[in-house]
Amino acid sequence: MLAMQYSVRLPQDFDVEQVYQHVSMRSPLFEGHPGLRHKFYLYDREEHIYAPFYIWENSQVAQDFLLNNLFGGVIETFGRPRVRSWQVIEFEYGQSSEEPGFLCCSVDKVQSQQPLDKAMAREKQEHRDTLDKPGLFAHMILLDPDRWEIGRLGFWRHRADVIQQPADAVYEYDVLKMNQDLQGAA
């Protein structure tokens, strides 16, 4: 699996209601999209950033998306954003079946002297330990082999449910719509 995200700093005159309207117009276009496991519509209220997050079955379907009309609509509306991608090391659903309302992402550099296999084993164990936390909808471990960073993403029912861990960087977003597993994904 491959995770992908782009961020768009919205114009000042693009208010929160327009963000919700944009999401409600765009979300039906992704139903049954081949190879798409999940799309989370994320918004950072403090920075006024729209930052959708995708989980693809493989890199080919992610590439196909970037070259098709759906992503062309993003470019027309917001300009061509920088797109980041990560290898999905682990992805599991948590205990909460309630729609997630909040994402907390912590990112750490993998130290060059640290053996990668040991780092991944530790991350996988922490991932398994996180899955039984109340309020957790989904959790994943991501690896960026370009920057050698590990990302831990927790999609939580509410901000108050978040279990924070110390990290080099922490990113927080509101999740704007229900993000059920998309049926028909190849």
Q: Write down the pLDDT at residue 114.
A: 87
Helix (H) or strand (E) holding 86: strand 83-93
- What's the pLDDT tens digit per position in 82-91? 999 999 999 9
With b meaning 16 or more CB within 10 Å and e meaning fewer, what string describes 135-153?
Answer: bbbbbbbbbbeeeebbbbb
What's the gap between Cα 127 and its chain centre? 16
pTM for the full predicted model: 0.88
Residue 186 has pLDDT above 80, yes or no: no
Report the CATH architecture of 2-175: 2-Layer Sandwich (3.30)
CA dist., res. 181 & res. 37, Å (int): 6
3-class secondary-structure state, position 113: coil
58 burial via Cβ count (<10 Å: 0-12, 13-18, 19+): exposed
- The answer for 79, left when phi > 0, alpha when psi is -120 to 50, beta otherwise, is left
* Average pLDDT of the segment spanning 166-174: 93
CA dist., res. 140 & res. 92, Å (int): 7
What is the chain's mean pLDDT, rounded? Answer: 90
CA dist., res. 94 & res. 43, Å (int): 22
Q: Write down the pLDDT at residue 21.
A: 85
In 3D, which of 52, 50, 55, 42 has the Cα closest to residue 87?
55
Query: Where does the chain have alpha helices with state H?
Result: 16-26, 59-66, 69-78, 116-130
- What's the pLDDT tens digit per position in 46-67? 999 999 999 999 999 999 999 9
